[in-house]
Amino acid sequence: MTVIAHVALDTPLDRLFDYLAPEAGVADIGRRVEVPFGPRTLVGVLVELADHSEVPAAALKPLKHIDRDTPPLPAELLELARFAAGYYHHPLGAVLASLLPPALRRSGRPVRAAEPAAYTLSETGHTEVAVIDARKPAQFALAARFLASSVANPLARADLNDREKTLLRDWLKRGWLQGQAAPALSSSAASSPTPTSDQVTVLDAIRAAGAGFSPWLLHGVTGSGKTEVYLRLVADTLAAGRQALILVPEIHLTPQLTERFLQRFPGHSLIGLHSGLADGERRAGWLAALRGDADIILGTRLAVFTPLPRLGLIVVDEEHDTSYKQMEGMRYSARDVAVWRARQAGVPVVLGSATPALETWKNAKAGRYHLLSLAARAHAQASLPKVRLIDSRNDRPKQGFSRALLSALEATLERGEQSLIFINRRGYAPTLLCNGCGHVFPCSRCSAHLVLHRAGAGNASGYRLVCHHCGLDTRPPEACPDCGSVDLRPAGQGTQRVEETLAEHFPEARILRIDRDSAARKGAFAAMRDRVAAREVDILVGTQIVAKGHDFPHLTLVGVIGADQALVSPDFRASERLFAQLMQVAGRAGRAEHPGEVLIQTRYPGHPLYQSVVRHDYPGFAEAALRERRSADFPPFVAQAVLRAEASTEEAAMRFLLAAREAGMEMNQGVELFDPVPALMLRIAGRHRLQLLLQSATRNRLQAFLGHWLEALAALPARGVKWVLDVDPVDV
Kindly list the residues in this chain that would bind Zn ion in the complex (CB under 5 A).
434, 436-437, 439, 443, 445-446, 467, 469-470, 472, 480, 482-483, 485
Within 337-424, strands assigned E span 348-353, 370-374, 386-391, 418-422
Residue 239 CB-density burial (10 A; 0-12 exposed, 13-18 middle, 19+ buried): exposed
Nearer to ligand ADP, 148 or 375 (CB): 375
Nearer to Zn ion, 605 or 678 (CB): 678
Q: Which does 483 bind (CB under 5 to 8 A by kind): Zn ion, ligand ADP, none?
A: Zn ion
Alpha-carbon distances of 92 from 10, 26, 81, 709, rounded to whole Å? 8, 19, 7, 18
193 near ligand ADP, judged by CB under 6 A? yes
Give DSSP secondary structure letters for 631-688.
HHT-TTSSEEEEEEEEESSHHHHHHHHHHHHHHHHHH-SSEEEPPPEEEEEEEETTEE
Please give the backbone phi and psi of residue 209, each rounded to the nearest 5 degrees, phi first: -75, -10
Report the C-alpha gap between 253 and 248 in whole angstroms: 7
Q: Which does 470 bind (CB under 5 to 8 A by kind): ligand ADP, Zn ion, none?
A: Zn ion
Q: Which does 195 bind (CB under 5 to 8 A by kind): Zn ion, ligand ADP, none?
A: ligand ADP
Which amino acid would we find at residue 62?
P
For residue 149, the SS3 value is coil
Nearer to Zn ion, 65 or 445 (CB): 445
Alpha-carbon distances of 213 from 180, 234, 341, 342, 349, rounded to whole Å? 35, 15, 10, 6, 7
Nearer to ligand ADP, 71 or 195 (CB): 195
215 near ligand ADP, judged by CB under 6 A? no
Q: Which pairs count as long-range contacts for 702-709, CB under 8 Å and 24+ apart, including other chains? A: 702/639, 702/640, 702/641, 702/671, 702/727, 703/87, 704/669, 705/664, 705/667, 705/669, 705/670, 705/671, 706/89, 706/641, 707/89, 708/667, 708/669, 709/660, 709/663, 709/664, 709/667
Nearer to ligand ADP, 125 or 223 (CB): 223
β-bridge pairing 687-696 and 243-247 = unpaired
Report the C-alpha gap between 588 and 597 in whole angstroms: 10
Q: Which does 223 bind (CB under 5 to 8 A by kind): Zn ion, ligand ADP, none?
A: ligand ADP
- End-to-end CA, the chain: 53
The span of 63-71, 87-95, 193-201, 474-482 binding ligand ADP (CB under 6 A) equals 193-201
227 near ligand ADP, judged by CB under 6 A? yes
Other CB atoms within a 10 A radius of the CB of residue 394 amount to 11
Out of 6, 32, 90, 226, name the contact with ligand ADP by CB under 6 A.
Answer: 226
Q: Binding string to ligand ADP for residues 330 to 369, with x set by CB under 6 A, is what?
A: ----------------------------------------
Nearer to ligand ADP, 101 or 223 (CB): 223
Report the C-alpha gap between 387 and 599 in whole angstroms: 6
The span of 6-14, 139-147, 188-196, 663-671 binding ligand ADP (CB under 6 A) equals 188-196
For residue 153, the SS3 value is strand
379 near ligand ADP, judged by CB under 6 A? yes
State the minimum distance, in angstroms, from the CB of residue 478 to Zn ion.
12
586 near ligand ADP, judged by CB under 6 A? no
Report the C-alpha gap between 679 and 691 in whole angstroms: 6
Q: Which does 196 bind (CB under 5 to 8 A by kind): ligand ADP, Zn ion, none?
A: ligand ADP
224 near ligand ADP, judged by CB under 6 A? yes
378 near ligand ADP, judged by CB under 6 A? yes
Under rule CB under 6 A, how many of the chain's residues touch ligand ADP? 15
Report the C-alpha gap between 535 and 412 in whole angstroms: 13
Considering just the CA atoms, what is the radius of gyration of the chain in Å? 28
Nearer to Zn ion, 64 or 687 (CB): 687
State the minimum distance, in angstroms, from the CB of residue 370 to ligand ADP.
18
For residue 444, the SS3 value is coil
Nearer to ligand ADP, 194 or 631 (CB): 194
Out of 93, 125, 183, 225, name the contact with ligand ADP by CB under 6 A.
Answer: 225
223 near ligand ADP, judged by CB under 6 A? yes
Nearer to ligand ADP, 335 or 425 (CB): 335
Contact 298, 270 (CB under 8 A): yes
Which residue from 625, 622, 553, 616 is spatially nearest to 590, judged by alpha carbons? Answer: 553
State the minimum distance, in angstroms, from the CB of residue 147 to ligand ADP.
31
Nearer to ligand ADP, 257 or 498 (CB): 257
228 near ligand ADP, judged by CB under 6 A? yes
Nearer to Zn ion, 103 or 434 (CB): 434
249 near ligand ADP, judged by CB under 6 A? no
Q: Give, as one character, the DSSP assignment of residue 429.
A: B
State the minimum distance, in angstroms, from the CB of residue 471 to Zn ion.
7
Nearer to ligand ADP, 379 or 386 (CB): 379
Positive or negative, the CA dihedral 673, 678, 683, 686 is positive
Q: Binding string to ligand ADP for residues 77 to 116, with x set by CB under 6 A, is what?
A: ----------------------------------------
Positions in the binding site for ligand ADP (CB under 6 A): 193-196, 199, 220, 222-228, 378-379
